[in-house]
Amino acid sequence: MKILLTGGAGYIGSHVAAALVSSGHDIVCFDNLSNSEAGVMDRLEAITGTPIPLVKGDIRDRDALDKVFGDHAVEAVIHFAGLKAVGESVAQPMRYYDNNVRGTLTLLEAMSDCDVKTLVFSSSATVYGSPSYLPIDEEHPTSATNPYGRTKLMIEEMLADVAASDPEWRIATLRYFNPVGAHDSGLIGENPNGVPNNLMPYISRVAAGRLNELSVFGGDYPTPDGTGVRDYIHVLDLADGHVAALDAIAKTERPLSTWNLGTGQGYSVLDMVKAFERVNGVRVPYRIAPRRDGDIASCFASPERAERELGWKASRGLDAMCASSWSFEHMLAKRNTD
Ligand code: NAD
Ligand code: UD1
């Protein structure tokens, strides 16, 4: 299949790009490079042995989308493009609604007009809000506690209406839990601008001496060691989940499907710190700090529906997540000194 990846130069998009090429798909990436760099495409070529076209453009730009659909015989879209920082979304809500919601609407209009009606959308476990039970299955009620989460919910609602309006649509909403880790090659991974908000990139930078110590947000949660518990999923497992979802919606009669992509296993912040130290033989100094606003105690998936309907199950454990994050950190350090 020929697949368009919006946000294809980003962290998750680039790993999915590599997985799709190795499954025999033909792809084109479309990205405004607001949170990524074009150099990723060279590294993807080194990984896959195939040059992958990158079109620099914005999903809010209808002309740019029409051109990419006109130039390439796109059959399906995987839609990663979006802004994703919770704190920033609280400070700049209009920017988030414009980029994420308006951007998605423009993409859907462009797809509909050229009769491309197969779509995989990057949603998030954030749409479950504060969990009322664990593990979280897809029937869990949804809610949002910040503008970023609300953009994901609004887009999910928009997709449900679109799917209900025309039975030709085949839409998969993938609710990611906590993606971490990097490609085995060490060539691509997560490299946020500025000080990382998320746990794993923060741990890597502390271990590398680029940051002094990790602040563990909260040591008094009702969890086994008092620190927050999450469902960390290796980005390569997540990438395989996209390939499986695309295959499934090509065969299903259902216009809309929703799948959790998680492992079903929760680990605490201190579990992550200890695993990172043990696997990589490094020290990660930390101190227990106050809770972060908006954080919840525990969140982990029931991945059963994806296993049953997609035949997909995460297979990589914590050791692989920590080792690959550290290899990628080394690659970044080497790139910076070259
Ligand atoms: P990322 O920032 O690395 O990738 C997003 C890409 O989209 C970037 O390359 C960016 O330049 C591009 N982009 C942003 N706005 C654009 C626009 N208007 N037009 C064109 N390109 C645009 O983020 P990621 O971690 O790869 O996340 C991908 C998707 O998955 C996002 O929608 C995010 O909300 C969702 N998600 C991510 C996580 C996570 O932990 N990383 C968890 C749940 C959901
Ligand atoms: C966060 C977002 C979520 C988003 C996801 C992926 C919030 C409230 N939620 O999820 O909407 O979908 O990222 O981008 O921001 N931690 C520390 N110290 C740190 C960083 C994190 O102790 O420096 C802890 C957190 O308190 C949490 C765990 O590590 O218990 C994971 O945090 P993080 O990686 O930010 O992910 P989430 O909060 O689960």
**Contact of 99 with 140, CB cutoff 8 Å:** no
Q: What is the pLDDT of residues 41-68, one digit of tens each?
A: 999 999 999 999 999 999 999 999 999 9
Is 153 among the domain residues?
Answer: yes
Is 296 among the domain residues?
Answer: no
* pLDDT in the model for residue 336: 79
Whether residue 156 has its Cβ less than 6 Å from ligand 1: no
As a whole number of angstroms, the distance between CA 284 and CA 262 comes to 26
| 294 alpha carbon – ligand 2 mean position (Å) | 10
Residue 338, pLDDT above cutoff 80: no
Helix (H, G, I), strand (E, B) or coil at 173: strand
Q: Name the pLDDT band for 20 (thresholds 50, 70, 90).
A: very high
Q: Name the pLDDT band for 225 (thresholds 50, 70, 90).
A: very high
- The domain tally of the chain equals 1
Supply the range of the domain harboring residue 142: 2-182+232-262+302-314
* Long-range CB contact pairs, 107-111, < 8 A, 24+: 107/6, 107/59, 107/65, 107/77, 107/79, 108/158, 108/159, 108/162, 109/62, 110/62, 110/65, 110/66, 110/69, 111/69, 111/77
Residues with CB under 6 A from ligand 2: 84, 86, 124, 126, 148-149, 178, 197-199, 202, 214-217, 228, 230, 269, 292, 294-295
Check which CATH number belongs to the domain holding 87 and give it.
3.40.50.720
Ligand 1 pocket mutation, candidates 14, 31, 159, criterion most atoms within 8 A of CB: 31
Residue 337, pLDDT above cutoff 90: no
* pLDDT in the model for residue 335: 82
Average pLDDT value for residue range 86-105: 97
How much of the chain exceeds pLDDT 70, in percent? 100
* pLDDT in the model for residue 278: 98
* pLDDT in the model for residue 243: 98
Whether residue 81 has its Cβ less than 6 Å from ligand 1: yes
* pLDDT in the model for residue 260: 98
Q: Name the pLDDT band for 192 (thresholds 50, 70, 90).
A: confident
Q: Name the pLDDT band for 193 (thresholds 50, 70, 90).
A: confident
Please indicate, yes or no, whether the overall pTM of this predicted structure exceeds 0.85.
yes
Average pLDDT value for residue range 309-336: 95
Q: What is the pLDDT of residues 263-299, one digit of tens each?
A: 999 999 999 999 999 999 999 999 999 999 889 999 9
Encoded tokens for 110: 């462009």
Is 325 among the domain residues?
Answer: no
Average pLDDT, the chain: 97
| 197 alpha carbon – ligand 2 mean position (Å) | 7
Residue 93, pLDDT above cutoff 80: yes
Is 151 among the domain residues?
Answer: yes
* pLDDT in the model for residue 27: 98
Encoded tokens for 16: 């999915």
Kindly list the catalytic residues.
Answer: 148
Task: Give φ, ψ of 238 to 5 degrees.
Answer: -60, -40
Is 51 among the domain residues?
Answer: yes
Is 194 among the domain residues?
Answer: no
* pLDDT in the model for residue 334: 85
Q: How do strand 267-268 and strand 229-230 relate by DSSP bridges?
A: antiparallel
Q: What is the pLDDT of residues 132-172, one digit of tens each?
A: 999 999 999 999 989 999 999 999 999 999 999 999 999 99
| 83 alpha carbon – ligand 1 mean position (Å) | 6
Average pLDDT value for residue range 230-248: 98
Is 308 among the domain residues?
Answer: yes
Is 236 among the domain residues?
Answer: yes
